[in-house]
Structure 1
Amino acid sequence: MHGVKRKQWTQELLKQKKEQDRKRITQYRGLVDKLLDSRDSKTYNMEVFKETTQLLRINPEYNAGWNYRRDIIEHLSPELKHEFWEDELAFSMALLKDYPKVYWIWNHRKWTLENHIDKSVKIWLRELAIVSKLLQMDPRNFHGWHYRRILVAEIEGRTGQSRDGEELQYAIDNTNKNISNYSAWHQKATLIPKMFEKDEIKDKKKFIQDEFTYITNAIYTDAEDQSVWFYIEWFVKNHIVIDALGRDELIQKLQELQENILAINEDDLQFSGKQNNWCLKVLIVLEDVQRNLKVQFTPHSHEYLAQLIEADPMRKNRYLHLLHRK
């Protein structure tokens, strides 16, 4: 008897949910149609502005709604006070908390800052602090990292001062907290060449030496995480490494890294009976780099490639490209 009641109650809940969904869809379609009519008739007032708020709360991915909202704001801007712009930032922030990976919200927030009645650098500095907190909650949100780079560029342009050092440390702090933070590794790869070019790193040789130590520790921390392996491929191929170390020391560092990767792969093989595909991929890359440096060695790339294909034949074509990367 208990089972029957539960089934009937579930059916009732499903019926209620379908009715609620139907009402929401009807409401949403009605809002869309009304807003598009207002847009086409070039209506720009606060009443329609509030309707865009209602619509975007339901569906923040509706880009036409954001575009129309900005058109309304631009037409009303002469009469808009400081409080309005702060409320607009609060509106987008409320949406970001629920939809942190919707591009159109980030885009509108940037537009709001650019058009804010306060033209001082302080609102951009405040925004940088805010996005730092957001990235604490979602450290790998690539939208947030991209937005952060936009903020930093704006602040640098307004102050005339580089923030590269602070941003590099921020990225390092994030990889220290979570080795699998791909966005933080990407941030490092973006900043380091720029800092070398601008001569913002005093002891370049020591920096590169330390980075070899850092990535070696990283692969021992989590040999399954792809973030550090992607970074290693970028790092060993970048000209800043040989420029800082010179050919002979670079060869030594590459061989040490190779030995550590071989050791990790052997451990994985003994523990699980399977080789680590990321180890095999990067071993191919390291041999390619050494070949370009005219190092004499016995190559094993085809052997590594055969092992990769055997483990995952569906990716054969992708693996074959490893031998032809530049």
Structure 2
Amino acid sequence: MQHEVKRVHLNESQKHQKYVKDEPKIKHYRDLTSHIFQLRDLQTYNDESFNATTSLLQLNPEFYTIWNYRREIIENAYGSNHAQLTQILNDELKFVMAQLRKFPKVYWIWNHRRWCLFKLVDLKQVNWGFEFKTVGKMLELDQRNFHGWQYRRFVVENLELEKLKSDQGDDEVLRLNLDEFDYTTAKISIDFSNFSAWHNRTKLIPKIYELAKQNPSSAAAIDHPSLHLFQSPLSILNNDLELIKTGIYMSPEDNSVWSYLYWLLSDEFFVNAFNASGADNDQNDYKQLLQQQIDLINEINELEKEDTGQENVGCLKALFKITELKEREDVNKDEMRVILQKLIKLDELRKGRQDYLDISSALQHHLLLSKLLVSSSPTFFETNIDVLANLIWLWDNQA
């Protein structure tokens, strides 16, 4: 099974029958490719070469060289006539949309759409509002497609540039980003496993806070249901800790919610808010918050143990990382050792060469472990238990 498509194993007779059936298609593809490369070598830029690229890209949209040639044709064959070029580019957007419906995760199709839009910008014929509605429909079809989310951020950035040209540009930009924040909330409420929605939220939160802080008149001028959350980083933090709590209870095996929780607890945007005054109470408040999350995760882990008979791997990984945040200057080696032992036993897929790990010895070098975890991305430990084990083993066995 790969990408939810079941692999079919063919015997020799079936392979031969498939080859005989596919041979005409293969020949057509090769002949068409050869013909297009000949046209390109001759710098042929006309309707014939353009239509030939259409045929080949419908067969193989990942053929990026053909996309490049298609752009050369558009610029050289139609670029001198602005009215014709505008029509060609708008037709291209329709062609690209048809391709995206069939191949929504091919980079080269998304790249070509961006190119078309920037050409339309040069012609002063772009419609970012229509593009914004279009990407919204794309995400309705596949709300977890990270290409679509990335493209949505691209469209929003260009909408911002357009709105800044108006008299109320700052107000409109702030409102647009608040709407995007609410959009992520809606998508997350539908599916807590929507990693792309969580990721988009990490981009929006510091951005909206800075927009509101830098333009207090804009913040005062607009009436938006989510604006009150951005009075301080801590008000956002408390709101999202409540939001993600539901996700953790519902899907404790899902990496998306754990990654976002770790971001909330470790990102400088929030941590610095605790250290703003430099008072000891601020740091104690931060450690108290971490302890509350540890208590919550322990509670969920116990519920999972009652339901399934074993502890939850996601909970254990989160406990390890959050404990490390809480005890950064004084790691509780015994507690870390117990969690690691449980993970080695439960996480078979990432166990790797854990047999080499002498936990009692390795945890004497907990500072190395801390540096590795702090300097790495939130998902480092989740996907690299075996690498971590080998690094610690090599450390312990240095001459």
Provide TM-score, normalisation by structure 1: 0.88
Offset at 1:296?
9.4
Offset at 1:82?
3.3
Q: How many residues align?
A: 315
2:256 maps to a residue whose letter is: S
Partner of 2:226: none
Structure 1, 236-245 or 51-60: larger mean CA deviation? 236-245
2:242 maps to a residue whose letter is: T
Tell me the distance in 2 between the aligned counterparts of 1:20 and 1:322. Answer: 57
Is residue 102 from structure 1 mapped to residue 131 from structure 2 by the alignment?
no
Q: Matched residue of 1:78: which SS?
A: coil
Tell me the distance in 1 between the aligned counterparts of 2:343 and 2:38. Answer: 57
1:216 maps to a residue whose letter is: K
Offset at 1:194?
2.6
Is residue 38 from structure 1 mapped to residue 67 from structure 2 by the alignment?
no
1:169 maps to a residue whose letter is: D
Instruction: Specify whether residues 233 and 204 from structure 1 end up closer, same or farther in structure 2 by C-alpha distance, changes over 3 A only.
Output: closer
2:57–2:63 CA contact under 8 A, matched in 1: yes
Instruction: Specify whether residues 120 and 42 from structure 1 end up closer, same or farther in structure 2 by C-alpha distance, changes over 3 A only.
Output: closer
1:101–1:141 CA contact under 8 A, matched in 2: yes
Is residue 212 from structure 1 mapped to residue 213 from structure 2 by the alignment?
no
List aligned pairs for 1:72-221, cutoff 5 A: 72-75=73-76, 76-79=78-81, 80-116=84-120, 119-120=123-124, 123-160=127-164, 161=169, 162=173, 163-199=176-212, 201-221=230-250
Tell me the distance in 2 between the aligned counterparts of 1:315 and 1:218. Answer: 32
1:285–1:322 CA contact under 8 A, matched in 2: no
Partner of 1:300: 335
Q: State the percentage of identical aligned residues.
A: 34
Q: CA offsets, 1:287-312, max 9 Å, x none?
A: 111123x6897861221011101223
Offset at 1:204?
3.2
Instruction: Specify whether residues 49 and 122 from structure 1 end up closer, same or farther in structure 2 by C-alpha distance, changes over 3 A only.
Output: closer
1:121–1:158 CA contact under 8 A, matched in 2: no
Select 1:235's aligned residue among 264, 287, 301: 264
Tell me the distance in 1 between the aligned counterparts of 2:208 and 2:345. Answer: 42
Structure 1, 159-168 or 295-304: larger mean CA deviation? 295-304
Structure 1, 186-195 or 273-282: larger mean CA deviation? 186-195
Q: CA RMSD in A?
A: 2.8
2:117–2:126 CA contact under 8 A, matched in 1: no
Instruction: Specify whether residues 315 and 107 from structure 1 end up closer, same or farther in structure 2 by C-alpha distance, changes over 3 A only.
Output: farther
Tell me the distance in 2 between the aligned counterparts of 1:179 and 1:185. Answer: 9
Q: Matched residue of 1:325: which SS?
A: helix
2:299 maps to a residue whose letter is: A
Partner of 1:7: none
Offset at 1:191?
1.8
Offset at 1:63?
0.5
Instruction: Specify whether residues 43 and 105 from structure 1 end up closer, same or farther in structure 2 by C-alpha distance, changes over 3 A only.
Output: same
Is residue 314 from structure 1 mapped to residue 349 from structure 2 by the alignment?
no
Instruction: Specify whether residues 250 and 122 from structure 1 end up closer, same or farther in structure 2 by C-alpha distance, changes over 3 A only.
Output: farther
Is residue 325 from structure 1 mapped to residue 380 from structure 2 by the alignment?
no
1:96–1:105 CA contact under 8 A, matched in 2: yes
2:339 maps to a residue whose letter is: Y
Structure 1, 195-204 or 305-314: larger mean CA deviation? 195-204
Q: Which runs of 5+ in 1 are unaligned?
A: 1-11
Offset at 1:133?
0.8
Q: Matched residue of 2:317: which SS?
A: helix
2:352 maps to a residue whose letter is: M
Q: Which runs of 5+ in 2 are unaligned?
A: 1-12, 214-229, 275-281, 363-367, 375-399
Select 1:253's aligned residue among 261, 279, 289: 289
1:81–1:117 CA contact under 8 A, matched in 2: no
Tell which has more relative contact order, 1 or 2 (C-alpha 8 A, sep 6+): 1
Offset at 1:243?
3.3
Partner of 2:381: none
Partner of 1:284: 320
Offset at 1:249?
2.9
Partner of 1:275: 311
Q: CA offsets, 1:92-129, max 9 Å, x none?
A: 10010000001100000111111127855861121111
Tell me the distance in 2 between the aligned counterparts of 1:296 and 1:83. Answer: 64
Q: Matched residue of 2:327: which SS?
A: helix
Provide TM-score, normalisation by structure 2: 0.72
Structure 1, 265-274 or 275-284: larger mean CA deviation? 265-274
Q: Matched residue of 1:139: which SS?
A: coil
Q: CA offsets, 1:153-178, max 9 Å, x none?
A: 12212322433222222112111110
Q: CA offsets, 1:213-253, max 9 Å, x none?
A: 11222201211111011111222111222333543332222
Instruction: Specify whether residues 247 and 315 from structure 1 end up closer, same or farther in structure 2 by C-alpha distance, changes over 3 A only.
Output: farther
